[in-house]
Structure 1
Amino acid sequence: MNKGLSLLGLAFRSGNLVSGEFAAREAVRKKTAALIIVANDASDNTKKMFENQCKHYQVPFYCWGLKEELGHAIGKEFRASIAVTDQGFAEALLKQLDK
């Protein structure tokens, strides 16, 4: 999981990631999201909402990590939802998530 968290940090620092529920939902709606990651300890409503929206807009969706881990990876406190907006970072993360 550490390599995946490092990739999230790189994506954030390069401006290829947005975090937070509103920003992630907007990225999906505007079709700029290449991957959505929601923390395993996020609420069931949040998970279901992102799962439905990602299915509708055909964006890969994963539940992975904890809010604290996701936030720490990008230099923030807690983050329940993250949208990766770069296809290259999304593909690299998908390889890590599928391990």
Structure 2
Amino acid sequence: MNKLYQLLGLAMRAGKIISGEYLVLREVRSGKVHLVLLATDAAKNTEKKITDKCFTYKVPIIRYGTRQELGKAIGKVERVVIAVTDPGFARSIQKFVQ
């Protein structure tokens, strides 16, 4: 498992991760999200909703991994979208992707 997935798991254990399309959209609107990760195999409709909302609220979005990989990283079943609510974790994750 790579470092990004390890960071996601750590953030999940710290309670700084939100997953699921509805919950992520709600938290993006509330301004509590610092980074959104979207699975590369997300449906086009989901992709459009998430990217449009992140663009509107100026939240960085990263396309990374499959839904199985993202889910496994946070100890859940398949997850298409994950939001990071902690600025420190968000910065660390962005460093690994760049």
TM-score calculated relative to the size of structure 1:
0.96
Counterparts of 1:76 and 1:54, CA distance in 2: 23
Using the aligned pairs only, state the percent identity. Answer: 45
How far residue 87 of structure 1 moved from its aligned partner, in angstroms, is 0.2
How far residue 26 of structure 1 moved from its aligned partner, in angstroms, is 1.0
Q: Which residue of 2 aligns with 1:86?
A: 86
Q: Which residue of 1 aligns with 2:60?
A: 60
Q: Map residues 1-99 of structure 1 onto 2, 5 A cutoff.
A: 2-98=2-98
> Structure 2 counterpart of 1:13, which letter?
R
> Structure 1 counterpart of 2:32, which letter?
T
67-76 or 18-27, which moves further after superposition? 18-27
* RMSD, aligned CA: 0.9
Counterparts of 2:97 and 2:23, CA distance in 1: 22
Counterparts of 1:31 and 1:97, CA distance in 2: 23
> Structure 1 counterpart of 2:49, which letter?
M
TM-score calculated relative to the size of structure 2:
0.97
How far residue 19 of structure 1 moved from its aligned partner, in angstroms, is 0.5
| Structure 1 gap ranges (5+) | none
How far residue 47 of structure 1 moved from its aligned partner, in angstroms, is 1.0
Counterparts of 1:27 and 1:65, CA distance in 2: 22
Counterparts of 1:96 and 1:46, CA distance in 2: 24
| Structure 2 gap ranges (5+) | none
Q: How many residues align?
A: 98
Residue 36 of structure 1: SS of its match in structure 2?
A: strand
